[in-house]
Amino acid sequence: MIAIRGATTIESDCGGQIKERVKELLCEIKAKNGLSDGDFVCIVFTSTADIRSYYPAKAAREAGFAFCPLFSALEPDIESALKLCIRVLVFAECKAPAKHIYLHAAAALRKDISQRINIALDGPAGSGKSTVAKILGKKLNILCLDTGAMYRACALKCIKENVSVFDEPAVAALMDGIALEVKYVEGEQRTYLDGQDVSAEIRKPEVSMLASSVSALGCVREKMVALQRQIASKTSCILDGRDIGTNVLPDAQFKFYLTALPEVRAERRAKENLQKGYDIPYGQILKEIIERDERDKNRKIAPLTVAPDATVIDSSYMTVEEVVAFIENKMQEKI
């Protein structure tokens, strides 16, 4: 039998959120430890004294975990304790070592045992971030989030609604009502805009330039960064983007900045475009890459820049496999 620890936090003492977070925590413990219902021996919860509105054990029963004994107790009111926190101890029949799960603000509690890792992978367009991130995500069995796809979806929203990306108040109004979701289908990230899968549409070359402009707006970044942090707070992940190590996850354990000469990046993009059926002259791609670099590096909010604690990798003369191996080695050195 093993004892699996876990914890999560809520933002306010409300029954609805307690039910949602307890379910999320138990489902994550079950999935990450490969448990089936019959493996559970019992589940014990404690909650901080500021949680009064609902029993975590009741929330667990309602979430379908009634197949084993459930128990909850209140912790003493300790001043320095993390507020609004629910802790759990799951006893289960399992041969593998326990994988402990700490979610939301509780992620900061037990970094030593929670085995959660965050990797920030930043860099300019065409540096190979997305390809490398996907391979690493699969190898390490962690979630991979391409944050550029989210800014691309915002740009697509502007196109669809006929709103200029330079009209910030109009874009802000669009952001208020945007339904942007990132889902994983057979391990692949899919981006949904207003309920529709737009994963292919957001890769169109015309979306690329607008994505760079729209991503410079505070109203867009605020919303996307909150969403990215929310996704990253739940699980081990690798995020690729422009401001992950500097802004989205400044505490990420591993930070890499992947770059390459503009000419090499333009060549890579030209090849990718051809594969997708877009025949765009190399000269135009190079010009656009340089323009995007300029805009991404010089914007006021969260510009593309190397985090002081990031490892810079120039991939101009490296294969994808070499970049992946380099990152893996660096991570090993640090662990």
Site residues (CB under 6 A) for ligand DC? 125, 147-148, 151-152, 208, 211-212, 215, 241-244, 292, 296
Q: And the tokens for 29?
A: 């413990």
Shortest gap between Cβ of 231 and ligand DC (angstroms)? 12
Q: And the tokens for 178?
A: 């945007």
**Choice between 48 and 246, CB closer to ligand DC:** 246
Shortest gap between Cβ of 328 and ligand DC (angstroms)? 22
> How far apart, in whole angstroms, are the C-alpha atoms of residue 33 and residue 149?
30
Closest CA to 171 of 208, 209, 201, 216: 216
Closest CA to 102 of 21, 160, 177, 174: 21
**Choice between 91 and 192, CB closer to ligand DC:** 192
Shortest gap between Cβ of 102 and ligand DC (angstroms)? 25
Shortest gap between Cβ of 52 and ligand DC (angstroms)? 39
**Choice between 35 and 120, CB closer to ligand DC:** 120
Shortest gap between Cβ of 284 and ligand DC (angstroms)? 16
**Choice between 48 and 208, CB closer to ligand DC:** 208
C-alpha dihedral sign at 215, 234, 78, 46? positive
Q: Do residues 75 and 41 make contact, with C-beta atoms less than 8 angstroms apart?
A: no
Q: Which residues are CB-neighbours of 223 under 8 A, at least 6 positions away? A: 175, 178
Closest CA to 216 of 161, 156, 292, 162: 292
Burial (CB < 10 A; 0-12, 13-18, 19+), residue 64, is exposed
Shortest gap between Cβ of 34 and ligand DC (angstroms)? 33
Shortest gap between Cβ of 127 and ligand DC (angstroms)? 9
> How far apart, in whole angstroms, are the C-alpha atoms of residue 76 and residue 13?
17
**Choice between 29 and 207, CB closer to ligand DC:** 207
How far, rounded to the nearest angstrom, does the alpha carbon of residue 236 sit from its chain's CA centroid?
A: 8
**Choice between 85 and 149, CB closer to ligand DC:** 149
**Choice between 56 and 124, CB closer to ligand DC:** 124
